[in-house]
């Protein structure tokens, strides 16, 4: 053996120097990459701040031309009334737009809910004057969640990897909104990766709940929740695979709808888990009342959407069902047997049940079937069917937000370790054990197909 080794032996001092040198190189390399990431983040924030200043200036110029004492009256109009006033011409789209931008500037200063304002909204104002017919959302300012593509703007998911390349084209959703006369004017903040129920990322920071700054607005459509609840927008588009429209709506006292899967086109919308198809995420509206959600759905489910994305089933909004006063048979539950509702949630369900009964509907209590299996095996294992590999990959070249750290560290544990921990924790923390097992994913393409069948047939 000795004969095989090189003749010159490394002196201990030289070995130590080599070791220290390597360690120092690693430290410097890490520091440099962190600095590089921080520079990208700073640049994104600088662009955001410049945009905010430009918008504030545009509002100021508008106010110099059109001083108004009607601001509060406009801001307090429900969407349907505002839409009516715009249609009949008693309010101008420009006045409404600048009134909302002014309020949005104020709300984002307090809650940090807007990532970018969209200066092209001025062009859209001109555009809607040229449209032959006034669309259903004629002149309505609409805010959109960060990852919904708008030409010339970044879609980031709060991740550094998506900084740098602005969208080349509007997403189908934005095209349809514009076709219906809406004016997208702001992109709103999200948690890093969209996989969190808070609303913070290291690029744009933490969004606060306008109703109580000590609280989160929820996530992942938290910027939408905060902006709308603060009064800076009256219609926003969020997205939801596991509560991301429903939670911010609930935390901010708003109404939100996660439509059925595939109902709205997601072309031009980015996601760190784009190939995941076991649980279907959807875009959907957030607003102050249910009628606003219905108007938005009516506007989106139109020929233009079906033409631009033929994978969307061409089924328009069913006005007859929505406006019918025929008694319905409605199922409900107060507890699903898995997640514990807060007392206020239970109370809201009870009050709704009572109101529906008084309106003549038949109310039937039911228990969601096989709930543990549904949540652990179909939902959690479905979302993480790749063992969280894509999600973890999307953090490459990034710094993990402290709010997400424990979650992220769990995702990236090797599958074997997750399995061993699941076995150890099972007797004391059975739920965490089942989560850890689900986070291992499905293991093979064969199992993935089986899981898709299980999702389809229950």
Ligand X SMILES: CCCCCCCC/C=C\CCCCCCCC(=O)NCCS(=O)(=O)O
Q: Which residues bind ligand X (CB under 6 A)?
A: 194-195, 220, 239-244, 271, 281, 380, 406-407, 410, 435
Going 452 to 456 to 457 to 458, the CA torsion angle's sign is: positive
| Dist CA 217 CA 254 (whole Å) | 11
Residue 238 in tokens? 């969020």
Q: Output 296 or 391, the one with its CB closest to ligand X.
A: 391
Smallest gap from Cβ 194 to ligand X, in A, equals: 4
Smallest gap from Cβ 169 to ligand X, in A, equals: 19
Task: Give the rounded distance of the alpha carbon of 72 from its chain centre.
Answer: 29
452-to-242, 273, 378, 383, 446 alpha-carbon distances in Å: 17, 17, 9, 12, 10
Nearest to residue 284, comparing CAs of 313, 316, 259? 259
Note whether 137 and 285 are within 8 A (CB). Answer: no
Smallest gap from Cβ 448 to ligand X, in A, equals: 18
Q: Which residues have a catalytic role annotated?
A: 145, 220, 244
| Dist CA 162 CA 144 (whole Å) | 17
Going 222 to 228 to 232 to 236, the CA torsion angle's sign is: positive
Q: Output 46 or 405, the one with its CB closest to ligand X.
A: 405
Smallest gap from Cβ 22 to ligand X, in A, equals: 33
The one-character DSSP state at 375 is I
Q: Output 120 or 198, the one with its CB closest to ligand X.
A: 198
Q: Output 231 or 341, the one with its CB closest to ligand X.
A: 341
For residue 394, which phi and psi values (nearest 5 degrees)? -70, -10
| Dist CA 374 CA 450 (whole Å) | 14
Kindly report the three-state secondary structure assignment for every residue of 42-73: HHHHHHHHHHHHHHHHHHHHHHHHCCCCCHHH
Q: What is the bridge-based pairing of β-strands 205-206 and 114-117? A: unpaired
| Dist CA 411 CA 392 (whole Å) | 7
Smallest gap from Cβ 47 to ligand X, in A, equals: 23
Count CB atoms within 10 A of the CB of residue 246: 18
Smallest gap from Cβ 382 to ligand X, in A, equals: 11
For residue 120, which phi and psi values (nearest 5 degrees)? -65, -5
Q: Output 184 or 248, the one with its CB closest to ligand X.
A: 248
Smallest gap from Cβ 197 to ligand X, in A, equals: 6
Q: Output 332 or 339, the one with its CB closest to ligand X.
A: 339
| Dist CA 246 CA 229 (whole Å) | 14
The one-character DSSP state at 148 is B
For residue 175, which phi and psi values (nearest 5 degrees)? -60, -45
Residues near 240 by Cβ (< 8 Å), separated by ≥ 6?
221, 246, 256, 258, 281, 282, 284
Q: Output 87 or 407, the one with its CB closest to ligand X.
A: 407
Ranked by CB distance to ligand X, the top (closest) residue is: 281
Smallest gap from Cβ 380 to ligand X, in A, equals: 5
Q: Output 51 or 281, the one with its CB closest to ligand X.
A: 281
Count CB atoms within 10 A of the CB of residue 434: 19
Determine the 3-state secondary structure of 196 from DSSP.
coil
């Amino acid at each position: 053996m000795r004969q095989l080794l090189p003749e010159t032996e490394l002196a201990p001092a030289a070995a130590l120097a080599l070791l220290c040198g390597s360690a120092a190189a690693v430290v410097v390399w890490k520091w440099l990459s962190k600095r590089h990431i921080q520079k990208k983040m700073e640049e994104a924030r600088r662009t955001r701040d410049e945009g905010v200043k430009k918008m504030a200036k545009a509002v100021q110029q508008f106010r110099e031309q059109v001083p108004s004492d009607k601001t509060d009256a406009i801001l307090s109009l429900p969407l349907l009334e505002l839409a009516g006033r715009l249609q009949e011409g008693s309010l101008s789209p420009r006045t409404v737009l600048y009134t909302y931008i002014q309020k949005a500037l104020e709300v984002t200063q307090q809650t940090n809910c807007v990532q970018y304002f969209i200066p092209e909204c001025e062009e859209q104002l001109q555009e809607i004057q040229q449209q032959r017919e006034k669309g259903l959302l004629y002149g309505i300012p609409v805010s959109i969640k960060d990852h919904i593509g708008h030409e010339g703007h970044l879609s980031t998911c709060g991740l550094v990897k998506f900084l740098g390349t602005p969208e080349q084209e509007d997403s189908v959703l934005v095209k349809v909104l514009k076709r219906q006369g809406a004016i997208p004017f702001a992109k709103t903040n999200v948690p890093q990766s969209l996989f969190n129920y808070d609303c913070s990322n290291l690029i744009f920071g933490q969004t606060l709940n306008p109703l109580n700054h000590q609280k989160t607005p929820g996530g992942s459509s938290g910027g939408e929740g905060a902006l709308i609840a603060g009064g800076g927008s009256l219609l926003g588009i969020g997205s939801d695979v596991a509560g991301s429209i429903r939670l911010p709506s609930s935390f901010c006292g708003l109404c939100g709808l996660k439509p059925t899967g595939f109902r709205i086109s997601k072309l031009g919308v980015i996601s760190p888990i784009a190939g995941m198809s076991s649980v279907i995420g959807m875009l959907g509206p957030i607003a102050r009342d249910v009628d606003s959600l219905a108007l938005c759905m009516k506007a989106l489910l139109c020929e233009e959407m079906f033409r631009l994305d033929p994978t969307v089933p061409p089924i328009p909004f069913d006005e007859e069902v929505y406006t019918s006063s025929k008694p319905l048979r409605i199922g409900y539950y107060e507890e699903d047997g898995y997640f514990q509702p807060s007392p206020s949630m239970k109370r809201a369900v009870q009050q709704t049940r009572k109101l529906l009964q008084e309106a003549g509907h038949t109310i039937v209590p039911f228990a969601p079937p096989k709930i543990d299996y549904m949540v652990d095996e179909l939902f959690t294992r479905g979302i993480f069917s790749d063992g969280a590999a894509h999600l973890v990959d999307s953090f490459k070249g990034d710094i993990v937000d402290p709010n997400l750290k424990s979650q992220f560290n769990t995702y990236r544990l090797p599958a074997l370790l997750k399995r061993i921990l699941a076995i150890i924790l099972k007797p004391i923390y059975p739920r965490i054990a089942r989560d850890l097992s689900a986070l291992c994913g499905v293991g093979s393409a064969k199992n993935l197909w089986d899981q898709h069948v299980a999702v389809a047939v229950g």
